[in-house]
């Protein structure tokens, strides 16, 4: 613990929701892995977030912003500092004007699948390909999440951010730069919300597209198992990491309770009690063999927090 009791009391005073002291981060990740964080706080408004960011930056307190924790591996040692969970930042506002596309503004903490499902039900077309991608809307923006050839960057008209000094910044569509699994955002800024532009569509065909995407995902990915999604980025479009790892015979390989999925080799599953150390050992084994046999340096898609990463 690096925080003093006074700091914990002061931080508690900045937010309405009670803070959590020393809770395991495994509770906040889809992998269910990770040791304790000194403090977890969940701001409910931009004002609360601003106060928190100013407090940690002025006090030079290590902090980390967390979305839904679906693409992250926390160390077994946990995190010394303040984890700011964006889960309560839940703005959801649709601006529509008969003949024009709708503008849908969504807070960073809203689950991406809530947006995808909601838009489909209301007959707004565009997000179907994002069906089944876990995580929060803010996390999806920060990582330019995508599937089946669509990235969220392509649907955004603007992104609102907040700097650690508490200043808001709006990035308009023409200034957004993104590529595969990457969104170019100014450093030391937190995504507050994003605005999507969506056209009207036929609700029935949108629902049919969603169902198709769900079925494909269930067939090819270990849905329902504890994981953090794909572990590595694809080195290129014609060389998917999953196919390379599969060919090298890793499916089913285990280190303790960490296991390479039998269904999709770019997923590591936590069979129950996997530790971060076990996942990291499996990752290193895969990387070493892929480098040795294929001459490729696999880059992590999974974000490791607190570990010296090579990606």
Q: Please say which residue, 29 or 266, places its beta carbon nearer to ligand EPU.
A: 266
> Is residue 281 annotated as part of the catalytic site, yes or no?
no
Give the list of residues 6+ apart from residue 167 with CB closer than 8 angstroms, or none. Answer: none
Distance in Å, CB of 304 to ligand EPU, minimum: 15
Under the binding rule (CB under 6 A), the answer on residue 246 touching ligand EPU is: yes
Total residues found in the chain within this entry = 311
Distance in Å, CB of 73 to ligand EPU, minimum: 13
Under the binding rule (CB under 6 A), the answer on residue 220 touching ligand EPU is: yes
Select the span of 15-23, 81-89, 195-203, 227-235 touching ligand EPU (CB under 6 A): 227-235
Under the binding rule (CB under 6 A), the answer on residue 160 touching ligand EPU is: no
Under the binding rule (CB under 6 A), the answer on residue 293 touching ligand EPU is: no
> Is residue 285 annotated as part of the catalytic site, yes or no?
no
Name 227's bridge partners. Answer: 269
- List the one residue from 112, 229, 276, 286 that touches ligand EPU (CB under 6 A): 229
> Is residue 230 annotated as part of the catalytic site, yes or no?
yes
Instruction: Tell me which residues touch ligand EPU (CB under 6 A).
Output: 147-148, 220, 229-230, 233-234, 240-243, 246, 264-266, 301
- By annotation, the residues acting in catalysis are 181, 230, 301
């Amino acid at each position: 613990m690096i925080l003093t009791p006074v700091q914990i009391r002061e931080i508690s005073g900045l937010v309405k929701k009670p803070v959590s002291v020393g809770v395991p981060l495994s509770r906040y990740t889809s992998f269910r892995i990770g040791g304790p964080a000194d403090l977890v706080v969940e701001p409910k408004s931009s004002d609360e977030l601003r106060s928190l960011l100013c407090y940690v930056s002025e006090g030079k307190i290590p902090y980390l912003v967390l979305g839904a924790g679906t693409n992250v591996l926390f160390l077994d040692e946990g995190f010394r500092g303040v984890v700011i969970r964006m889960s309560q930042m839940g703005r959801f506002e649709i601006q529509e004007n008969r003949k024009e596309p709708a503008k849908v503004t969504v807070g960073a903490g809203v689950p991406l699948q809530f947006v995808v499902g909601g838009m489909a039900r209301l007959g707004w077309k565009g997000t179907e390909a994002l069906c089944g991608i876990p995580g929060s809307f803010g996390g999806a923006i920060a990582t330019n999440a995508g599937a089946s050839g669509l990235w969220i960057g392509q649907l955004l008209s603007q992104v609102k951010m907040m700097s650690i000094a508490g200043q808001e910044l709006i990035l308009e569509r023409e200034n957004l730069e993104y590529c595969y699994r990457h969104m170019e955002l100014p450093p030391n800024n937190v995504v507050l919300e994003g605005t999507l532009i969506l056209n009207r569509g036929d609700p029935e065909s949108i629902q049919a597209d969603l169902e198709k995407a769900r079925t494909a995902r269930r067939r090819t990915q270990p849905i329902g198992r504890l994981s953090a999604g794909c572990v590595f980025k694809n080195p290129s479009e014609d060389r998917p990491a999953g196919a390379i790892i599969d060919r090298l015979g890793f499916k089913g390989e285990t280190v303790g309770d960490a296991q390479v999925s039998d269904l999709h080799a770019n997923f590591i599953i936590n069979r129950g009690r996997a530790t971060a150390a076990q996942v990291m050992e499996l990752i290193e084994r895969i990387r070493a063999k892929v480098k040795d046999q294929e001459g490729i340096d696999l880059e992590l898609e999974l974000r490791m927090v607190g570990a010296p990463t090579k990606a």
